[in-house]
């Protein structure tokens, strides 16, 4: 039974289960809903880089952090479509466009919408992450054929103020509501390894699992520590906590695609394998996620070959 009334205490109980019990149950649910030997490949491209006015403690694109990142204006439609063609050539079925804005102007949304139309003609799923959207802007992107909008909650409501002060949790929820009302699917997850507790991770998952319907795509990111950001030097998260988080996400949101997102470049094959076994069934392809490193195509293919896992030729659908 799919629930939308999970409490934080109930999610904490899931996360606290003996590791092997949690992993076995999550894998069973995953096997019932998806082909466990197929994963979705997505590719994320930064279409506007740096200069963001937000103060997100993890983000090298904040203008408030001295990370040495070179700013780049919005790419042209032609440049975005060329990147989408390259994404399709390496096996991606979803193309994600990320712009470092707090909230785009209507003119900027129109420019992205034009790119969305052309990327969709390549028979790729389209996804965008542009910051906060008004209801009208969400409608423009929906009319252009946008399939997914990414807007992460980042962490639990209780820990959120330690990570971001320039945008409230309610601001994030309002954008998600605008996107959902426009008929665009949600890509919404968070980041682990930012110094939060397991209780905070339970709070994040409870928020996600309370949405009705659940987000169609749930990215679980492991913090990539970037020099110059406030979170550089934070104690790294134990890898098994990442596995627990993914397993719990699979149990709470059984029909959602759970993406093993940022941080894979630093993960061992064994840790990535545990995450896939726990219920992750999507990865980002390519050597870069916006501005941070990602496991490259050779490393990805070597691991998938060892596991007998293949990239899907069609978008992943839950049974």
Which H/E stretch holds residue 105? none
Which H/E stretch holds residue 285? strand 282-285
Distance, CA of 252 to CA of 189 (rounded, Å): 13
Q: Which of 33, 94, 96, 244 is catalytic?
A: 96
Q: Which of 94, 172, 180, 187 is catalytic?
A: 187
8 Å CB contact between 294 and 265: yes
Q: Which residues partner with 127 through β-bridges? A: 96, 148
Distance, CA of 181 to CA of 171 (rounded, Å): 15
- Count of beta carbons in the 10 Å neighbourhood of residue 250: 26
Q: Establish whether 275 is a catalytic residue.
A: no
Q: Establish whether 187 is a catalytic residue.
A: yes
Q: Which of 33, 94, 127, 250 is catalytic?
A: 127
Write phi, then psi, for 191 (nearest 5 degrees): -125, 135
Read off the DSSP letter of residue 51.
Answer: -
Distance, CA of 14 to CA of 249 (rounded, Å): 10
Q: Establish whether 259 is a catalytic residue.
A: yes
* Nearest of 171, 247, 236 to residue 202 by alpha carbon: 247
* Nearest of 280, 254, 262, 274 to residue 225 by alpha carbon: 262
Distance, CA of 189 to CA of 199 (rounded, Å): 16
* Nearest of 199, 209, 193, 163 to residue 264 by alpha carbon: 193
Q: Which residues partner with 285 through β-bridges? A: 43
Q: Which of 244, 259, 264, 275 is catalytic?
A: 259
Q: Which of 59, 250, 264, 275 is catalytic?
A: 59
Q: Which residues are catalytic?
A: 52, 56, 59, 96, 127, 187, 259
């Amino acid at each position: 039974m799919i629930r939308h009334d999970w409490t934080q205490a109930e999610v904490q109980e899931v996360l606290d289960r003996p590791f092997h019990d949690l992993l076995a149950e999550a894998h069973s649910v995953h096997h019932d809903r998806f082909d466990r030997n197929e994963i979705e490949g997505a590719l994320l491209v930064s279409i506007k880089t740096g200069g963001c006015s937000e103060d997100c403690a993890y983000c090298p694109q904040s203008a408030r952090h001295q990370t040495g990142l070179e700013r780049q204006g919005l790419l042209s439609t032609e440049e975005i479509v060329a990147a989408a063609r390259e994404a399709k050539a390496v096996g991606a079925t979803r193309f994600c466009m990320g712009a470092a804005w707090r909230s785009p102007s209507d003119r900027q949304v129109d420019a992205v919408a034009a790119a969305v139309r052309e990327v969709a003609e390549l028979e790729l799923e389209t996804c965008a992450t542009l910051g906060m959207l008004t209801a009208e802007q969400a409608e423009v992107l929906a009319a252009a054929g946008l399939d997914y909008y990414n807007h992460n909650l980042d962490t639990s409501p209780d820990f959120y103020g330690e990570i971001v002060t320039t945008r409230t949790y309610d601001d994030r929820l309002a954008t998600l509501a605008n996107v959902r009302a426009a008929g665009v699917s949600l890509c919404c997850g968070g980041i682990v390894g930012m110094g939060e507790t397991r209780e905070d991770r339970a709070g994040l998952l409870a928020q996600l699992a309370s949405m009705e319907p659940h987000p169609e795509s749930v990215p679980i990111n492991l913090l990539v520590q970037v020099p110059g950001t406030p979170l550089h030097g934070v104690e790294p998260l134990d890898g098994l906590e990442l596995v627990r988080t993914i397993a719990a996400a699979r149990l709470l949101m059984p029909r959602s695609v759970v993406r093993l997102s940022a941080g894979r470049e630093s993960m061992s094959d064994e840790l990535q394998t545990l995450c896939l076994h726990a219920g992750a069934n999507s990865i980002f392809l390519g050597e870069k996620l916006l501005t941070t490193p990602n496991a490259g195509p050779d490393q990805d293919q070597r691991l998938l070959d060892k596991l007998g896992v293949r990239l899907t030729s069609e978008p992943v659908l839950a049974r």
